[in-house]
Chain A
């Protein structure tokens, strides 16, 4: 079965600085990858997804991620963060073990943007 590792539980950053949130997944076979954002006491909102094609994926709110098959990574980046980006971010991978489709999530990275 697939697994996801988010390497940083918390990332503090100053406003307008760049940020990278790291994500590694367990398998090198064909995968679908996702990044979600969660604001306090809310559900998850999709930021971006990689299904196939270009390894650089652009999402909402100025975020992008790069799929790296050789390193089994899917790191999320933003060149200049805003206070409003403060939230928890989850990386997820599609798992089809047993013929059933489901998403497996990492433990999350809490991004704190300071003025």
Chain B
């Protein structure tokens, strides 16, 4: 089955914990992105990567980290420095200047 797989679908984090959200793609796309979605604020860009072993900060990178060791994978770590991590997180891929393709999202809740 082709596409973008985000896991887990739901994730609960305790205060002070780091958690990692997985994003895997088999579309052979070079570019990958992480967005955060909060009600009424649309999608805000956290990090993005155009090629393996290279990534850039988006508008709200503080408290997050990423790696891009393989073309297929772009995991996002939400660190304890992120003070308000409860949100819906979306991973996306693209071939470049055209549209992005999205995974089904991970809903992170702090408990």
Contact = CB atoms under 8 A, between A and B. Distances in A.
B98 A49 contact: yes
Contacts of B68: none
Assign chain A's interface to a size class.
20 to 34
Interface in A48-77: 49, 51
Interface residues of B, number: 30
Interface string A85-102: 000001010101010111
B52 to A, nearest CB: 15
B102 A43 contact: yes
Given A9-B40, A41-B107, A108-B42, A49 B99 contact: yes
Interface of A: 6, 9, 32, 34, 36, 41-46, 49, 51, 90, 92, 94, 96, 98, 100-108
Given A43-B104, A49-B98, A105-B43, 6 more contacts: A6-B42, A43-B103, A44-B102, A101-B94, A105-B44, A107-B42
